[in-house]
Structure 1
Amino acid sequence: MDRLLLARHAQADGHDHADPALSAVGEEQAALLAHRLSAEPVVHLLSSPRRRARQTAAAIAQQLGREPEVGPFLDDRTPMPSAGHWDDYPEHRWDWLRETPETEQDEDGAALDAAWQRLTGMLDDAPGTLVVVTHAFVIGSFVASALSAPPSAWMLLPVGNATITELQRRTNGEIALTRFNDDAHL
């Protein structure tokens, strides 16, 4: 696979901590996203285990005629600074970061870095597309990693529901961001 399409799940109905299903708007967004991706040469479809991501991936899978693989490594996570790294983040964000549910805290983004390495390891020179349905902070973290950006860069990358972010492996091995937060299908 030489392309990676990161899709944020469609709009959820309810509070994130309750693992909500898609809202009526979200179901429509997921159908539009699925239609948009139906023309892509998708070789593999991965999804976060959260219900809103699985439902979005199911809509895509139905269009593609393939089953999504649920990957716990794609779960909803928030990169959190460890004790010695709070200065890597803007001070005005510290209180907000401290309110992150413990189950979503990813100290120094270690789990997200491992997930990024796993995804990039799936890319090779063979043609085809890997589609990943996951969450806003996960996508922001992956983009920041691809761009070798500072630890807090993910906070500056607003990712909308049911949008597409595209990364491509270049012939020299570099991964380039070719599209971010694309919502033309909505």
Structure 2
Amino acid sequence: MESSTIDKETLELAAQDVRRVLERQKEERQVLITQMNILFVTNTALLSFLTISRLITRFSIFSTLEIFLFFINFLLLIWALLPRRFFISPNLEKKQETQEKKEKLKFPDDYLTLSPEQYHLQMLVDLIETYNKNQKQVDDISLALKYATGVTAGIAMVALLHQVTVYFIPELQKL
């Protein structure tokens, strides 16, 4: 594609769209962090409930299952919480890798030699690559939280069954 055939208005609109998508991705990460905090609080509340009611301290199939599910759930939440490397510009990485091979390749110099249209195109390519690399990290966090949500629901169901068994069905208390 020659630089003379690129419409500046189209290029600017594309840049705005890509920036909007990156901003949306950033908001999605914030929502996931909020969900993670809610799951931590929910699990802490469930653990407190089981401890206060002394259900978890009585050895039974239910308490063993509850402890196992808590362990799995906190592992999932920690997996979601683990620091991940989010990318700002993939070209900076490429330049740093090739810097050892070439003689002092500098980021601003490479971009400043481009025509304005080529510069915009290169920035669009960089932003799209950045989005794609960061989306993998966001999807990873989302998957961990999805599993943690399911395990939290499982803990709540087991705790409810445990409580019903202990307080309303005396024959099953020995389980």
- Whichever structure has more strand as a proportion of its residues is 1
Structure with higher RCO (Cα < 8 A, 6+ apart)? 2
Q: TM-score range by the shorter chain?
A: under 0.3
Larger Rg: 2
| TM-score, normalisation: structure 2 | 0.22
| TM-score, normalisation: structure 1 | 0.21
- Whichever structure has more helix as a proportion of its residues is 2
